[in-house]
A and B are shown apart, each in its own frame.
Chain A
Amino acid sequence: MYAYDEIDRTLVNERVSEFRDQVKRRLSGELNEDEFKMLRLQNGVYLQLHAYMFRVAIPYGTLATNQLRALAHVARKYDRGYGHFTTRQNIQFNWIKLAELPDALADLAEVGIHAMQTSGNNMRNVTSDQWAGVAPGEIEDPRIWSELIRQHTTLHPEFSFLPRKFKIAITASDHDRAAIRIHDIGLRLIKNEKGETGFEVLVGGGLGRTPFIAKTIKHFVHGRDILSYIEAILRVYNQYGRRDNIYKARIKILVHELGIEKFSREVEDEWQHIRNSSLQIDDEVIEDIRSRFTYPAYEKLPHMPDELRQAAADPDFEAWRKNSVAPHKVQGYSIVTVSLKPTGGPPGDATAEQMDALADLADKYSFSEIRVGHEQNLALPHVAKRDLPALWKALDRLGLATPNVNLITDIIACPGLDYCSLANARSIPIAQELTRRFANHELANLIGRLHINISGCINACGHHHVGHIGILGVEKNGEEVYQITIGGRADENAALGTLIGPGVKFDEVADVIEDVVEAYLALRERPEELFMDTVKRLGVEPFKERVYATR
């Protein structure tokens, strides 16, 4: 865990008092909506279909139990008793009152949580691997660097009014759980031949109307230079990024229009001016941040405790364990993913009661720490294996033990028409219907790893482009129509999905997905061949045929 000190707390409090003043000026009419809009966005406040929506940052997805309880408190006191975890390691509250927002922010500030820059045309919440610091085989804990970058980009005086929003994601594992290739800047921690820590820097990824996979701009930037390098990229973007058309304002368009070679020459040029400035990070600074991350006092535990051996007789426990429990870098411990995808539920929602209860469980079983992943699930990062059976029982009672992580019902979905003022179509009801269709665990397990992603419009908040199966809601002649893509992925081999044919009606979506899945089951060479591999081997044609032959 990262511990805020007095300095960080002061900044957050100053921010709350500034926002209190801004809300007051808005309510008195001193600020018009146009002026206020940007200010509220910089504090995570949207005006949605029904009410104000409030988006709170969970930097690199790490939460302490008192912080999770504070989120539960906000859900209960200022909202309707639940919150929605998103693909950006944020939590959103949908029914908040403008006049109460400063109080909600003040309550969160007490536990070091803020909503700074969770929206608006600035640097957004820095995201990272939800297993950071506990996954086996990491270069090092990427959160140290995430925190450094979070601090550097918070209220940055040059980059708070960029052409468009800006997102950075960091991973330190070979297996990319942070989706770095679909971010404006993706950072991959690596070591060079001399054993020094640095980054492969990728730039220009993003989804939305014009999706791009990020390109490598530099194969190695030394850790000490990472802030100046990021600053150089941002300065070039701030100067040359398009401002005439918001659909073309993201850095991906600039990189695309200039070409990566020309863009990287511009960045290199700028970087040479600033790399030896006060932006260079000395080891002492890194050590200081590192020292404020504390790690559990792990015990020496057996690899296979008796409790686990005994529980293995229970098939329900085993189904959950196989699905939700991952290896930990320390022997005798596991990482447990807590599914927020119950059958028939909106993906990513958690009630205040669930949050409180999960905080209690994390205190008891996970050294008071919780993680939020971009798949809209939570994780307990340090669970002793001997505690797994007891933890499972407790999670099950809370409705948080659905054994579907990475299976077909572990759906990522944006809020769509149910909440979002930009939506063309519903997302949540589609997700709910699909979780019912594939509720049978045996079947889901037989299908194996398969990610479905749903967005209610082209903005792609549900990452539909990079879903193994992507579902995009569009509007046609006043009707909701859904386009289906297959073959996308957001990991280290990131790719955009391919459209399989004309859009289908709301009522047909679940049938079509069933057809796609049946086609896959019939086409795969062996049970181990995953959906993605079959699509890669055969392309979209056979799937297209199966879906459209009878329609």
Chain B
Amino acid sequence: MPLVNGGKIVDDSFVKLAVDTPLPESGDILVPAERFLGEADALLKRAGKVGVIWPNSRDISELVPYLGKLAVVALVFPTFRDGRAYSQARLLRERYNYRGELRATGQVLRDQFVFMLRAGFDAFDVKKQADAEAFMQTAKRYSVFYQPTGDGRITALHRRMQLRHSEGVGT
């Protein structure tokens, strides 16, 4: 699956570990939640960055003590219909101020990019090559947003206020 980060297709430096894969000596690793919570101290001490793959059915607040030390949080879309990870993403970004890489994994298709970006994702394990290639074009599809989220984009309501005030200046 191609990884899109910063709007471009990039090489993934992270190796995904299963629950029982032996720990490589060095290099960046992505670890399942269960395993991460079990051996967090050991994992964080070794050389190389650590990321965690967090299931969408587990309370994201359990991660809070580690957020400063994690390079990646990967949230999971087991099917594109299951939107729980959107809520987790917003909580991480907006409530817990997580600033590291927030990666969408699983059934990630181009038609969700806008929603994911708005919810705070900045990296995407995209399922189809063609979708990954269409990232920039698809991500720019919308210029109007009705609701405030942590992505900081101005909402339609506030854009109207601005327009109204700037019109008001001249009169």
- Which residues of A does B touch, CB under 8 Å? 5, 7-8, 10-11, 14, 17-18, 22, 30, 35, 38-39, 121, 151-162, 235, 238-239, 243, 273, 277-279, 284-285, 288
Contact = CB atoms under 8 A, between A and B. Distances in A.
Contacts of B82: 161, 243
The 5 closest A-B pairs by CB, nearest first: A161-B83, A157-B118, A11-B144, A278-B148, A157-B115
B157 A288 contact: yes
Interface in B114-171: 114-119, 130, 141-149, 156-157, 159-161, 164
Given A155-B115, A238-B84, 18 more contacts: A5-B160, A11-B142, A18-B142, A121-B83, A151-B146, A151-B157, A152-B147, A153-B146, A155-B146, A157-B90, A157-B114, A157-B119, A157-B147, A158-B86, A158-B149, A161-B82, A162-B83, A273-B95
B80 interface: yes
A288 to B, nearest CB: 6
13 contacts: A5-B160, A8-B144, A10-B144, A11-B144, A35-B80, A155-B145, A157-B90, A157-B147, A158-B149, A159-B86, A238-B87, A285-B157, A285-B161
A351 B141 CA distance: 36
Contacts of A238: 83-84, 86-87
B78 to A, nearest CB: 9
A14 B156 contact: no
B111 interface: yes
Contacts, number: 96
B109 interface: yes
A101 B10 CA distance: 37
A156 B145 CA distance: 9
A88 B141 CA distance: 29
A7 B160 contact: yes
B141 A8 contact: no
Given A152-B146, A238-B87, A8 B111 contact: no
Contacts of A243: 82, 84
A253 B94 CA distance: 29
Interface residues of B, number: 34
Contacts of A285: 157, 161
A159 B109 contact: no
A279 B90 CA distance: 14
B45 interface: no
Contacts of B146: 11, 151-156
B93 to A, nearest CB: 11
A161 B148 contact: no
A154 B109 CA distance: 20
B160 A161 contact: no
Contacts of A158: 83, 86-87, 90, 115, 119, 149
Nearest to B130: A30
Contacts of B84: 238-239, 243
A247 B127 CA distance: 29
Given A7-B160, A157-B119, A288-B157, A14 B141 contact: yes
Contact of A38 (B81, B94, B118, B142): B81
A7 B86 contact: no
Contact of A14 (B111, B116, B119, B142): B142
Contacts of B114: 155, 157
A14 B156 CA distance: 14
